[in-house]
Structure 1
Amino acid sequence: MNTAAAAMQPGCHREMISINRVSFSFGAKPVLSDLSFTIRERDFVGLIGPNGAGKSTLLRLIVGLLKPESGSIELFGTPADRFKDRHQIGYVPQRSQFNPLFPATVREVVLSGLFGRRKLFQRLTRQDQLRCDDALETMQIEDLGDKLIGALSGGQQQRVFLARALINNPKLLILDEPLTGIDAETQENFFHLIRHMHQKHDMTFLMVSHDMEMVRSYLGREPKETAGKLSFYVRHSHDVEDCAETDLFHTLRKEG
C-alpha cells in the first residue's frame, strides 16, 4: 500500500506494519517462510513461539537490521528500505545484544534515543533534557543518570533501554523480551505503563515475550493468527480520546 492510500484510512485502521510473504534464512537454515501479517494502528500484538522460531529475526527485519530474502515489509505504508521517520518507532532489542563495556552514562544512552529526529551533533534543547528526565523517572532510574551503563545490573540496564525507546513517545513500540532480568514490581509498573499507552496514547505495540500468562491475560487466550511455529495474539484499542496528560510518569500513578 502506498503512503497516500494509508493516509486515507481511518485512524485505528491504518496499517503500521505490513509483512508480505517474507522469507529469511541464516545460511542453509530457513527461519521464516512466506510469512504475511498486518499490524494496524492501536493494535497490541504479542508474538509467541519457541526458541529458533524466528521471533527476534522478524523484529530485526522490521526495524531494518536485516533484509528479507524474498517478500517485502512496509512501515506506515512506506517500503521499509525507504522509510525515513525512524523517530516514530521505538525498539528495545534483547539485552544480550548490548556491549556492557560501552562507555556511556545512563543519561547519554537515553538521550541517544532522540538522535533519529535530528542531526547527531545538533545541540540538545532544554525540552530534550526534560523528556529525558521524564523517561528516567518513568522507569524509576532517575538516580542512575550519571552512572556508566556497563556498571548497572541487568534489570537496571533493561530499564535504561526502555527509557531510551520511550523518550520520543513513538507511535510504534517494538519490544524483544523486554522483561528479562526485571524484578516483579518493575514488571507490574511496566505493564501498567504500556496498557495505558495502548489504550490512551494512540500507540501501537509489537512485543515478543515468553510470559504466556501475561500475554493471554491482556491479549486473549487464543492467537489471532499462526504462521509456522509463530503465534500472533492481538488486542485492538478503539479508544478515540487521548489522555489529557502528555508526560510519561503520570501513567504510573494510581488511578481513580
Structure 2
Amino acid sequence: MNGKNAGCHQSVVSIDGVFFFYEQKKVIDDLCFDILERDFVGLVGSNGAGKTTLLRMMVGLLKPSQGQIKLFGEPVGGFRDWDLVGYVPQKNSLNPLFPATVKEVVLSGLYGKKKMFRRLTKADYQKCEDAMRSMSIEDLADRRIGQLSGGQQQRVFLARALINNPRLLILDEPTVGIDARTQADFFQLIRHMHQHHHITFVMVTHDLDMLQSYLGNEPVQACGGLKFFVKHTHEPEDCLETNLTHSLQL
C-alpha cells in the first residue's frame, strides 16, 4: 500500500525519496513506497530495473545515493534488531569446499551482531529442527552444504531465513533452482504464513502467474521499471501454532 494514509497498521519498510546510481547510471529514481505490517509485496521488473538493488538497500548492504529507508521506524543505518528480518539473497556464492554442515548453516540464522558468541540453547536447536523440517531437509542435517544440489542449498538458505520466525521476510528469487513441485509447496507455505502469522513479505520473482494468482493482476505502483503488487491482510485470525511445521512440510 503506497502512501502514509494506508491505514490500519504501522509501517514496516518506509522508502522515502530514494535514488540509486551505479557508475553514474540512475537505477532507482525518486522511489517513495510504504510497506505495512502483514503486507505481501511482490516486486517485478526487467533485468537492471533495480529489484535486487532495492532489497539490498532494505537490509543495509547498499546505501541509497539519496533518500532514506527505514525498518520498523528506524533508519536502516542505525537499525539493530536484525533478528526481526529474514533475508534470502538471489544467489548464494558458496565455496563447494566450505566445511559447514546444513545444521550449522541453518543455526547461523540465529546469530546477530549481539549474539555472535552466545551459547546455543535447547530451544535454539529445536528452532533449527523445525526450520529444517519445514523445508524437508532434516535428513540432510549432517551433510556438508557444498555437497548439495542447487535446489537443496536454496532450501537450506530458506530454512536459515525462517529460523527466527521473522516479522519481515525478504526473498530475492527464492525458488530459483527448486523443482516445480517444491516451488508450489513453498508458495503454499508462504501464503499460509502471510494469512495466519504476523509476517510481512517482500519477494522478487519472475513467476508472474504465481504472483498474480495471489496478489492480483494489477500493480499498485510503478516506478521506472519496478512494479509493486500488494496484498494486505488486515484482520488476521492468527494461528495458535507458532512453529513452522504444523501446516506444511515441503
TM-score, normalised with respect to structure 1: 0.92
2:131 and 2:159 in contact (8 A); partners too: yes
2:150 corresponds in structure 1 to: 154
Q: Distance in 1 between matches of 2:96 and 2:204?
A: 23
1:231 aligns with 2:245: no
Q: 2:178 aligns with which of 159, 177, 182?
A: 182
Q: Which runs of 5+ in 2 are unaligned?
A: none
2:34 corresponds in structure 1 to: 38
1:68 aligns with 2:76: no
Q: 1:243 aligns with which of 219, 239, 246?
A: 239
1:3 corresponds in structure 2 to: none
Q: Distance in 1 between matches of 2:114 and 2:21?
A: 34
What is the letter of the counterpart of residue 243 of structure 2?
Answer: D
What is the letter of the counterpart of residue 76 of structure 2?
Answer: A
Q: Where is the helix percentage greater, Structure 1 or Structure 2? A: 1
Q: CA RMSD in A?
A: 1.8
What is the letter of the counterpart of residue 187 of structure 1?
Answer: Q
1:198 aligns with 2:198: no
Q: Which runs of 5+ in 1 are unaligned?
A: 1-5
Q: Distance in 2 between matches of 1:24 and 1:95?
A: 21
**Which consecutive segments of 4 or more residues in structure 1 shift more than 6 A?**
none
1:23 and 1:33 in contact (8 A); partners too: yes
How many residues matched? 246
1:169 aligns with 2:169: no
Q: Which moved more, 1:170-179 or 1:89-98?
A: 89-98
What is the letter of the counterpart of residue 124 of structure 1?
Answer: L
Q: 1:140 aligns with which of 136, 141, 157?
A: 136
What is the letter of the counterpart of residue 122 of structure 1?
Answer: R
Q: Distance in 1 between matches of 2:223 and 2:149?
A: 36
TM-score, normalised with respect to structure 2: 0.94
The Cα offsets for residues 67-98 of structure 1, whole Å up to 9 and x where unpaired, read as: 11100001001111111100000000012544
Counterpart of 1:64 in 2: which secondary structure? coil
Q: Distance in 2 between matches of 1:188 and 1:170?
A: 22
What is the letter of the counterpart of residue 187 of structure 2?
Answer: F
What is the letter of the counterpart of residue 170 of structure 2?
Answer: I
Counterpart of 1:53 in 2: which secondary structure? coil
Counterpart of 2:166 in 1: which secondary structure? coil
Q: Distance in 2 between matches of 1:166 and 1:246?
A: 12
Q: Distance in 2 between matches of 1:61 and 1:169?
A: 22
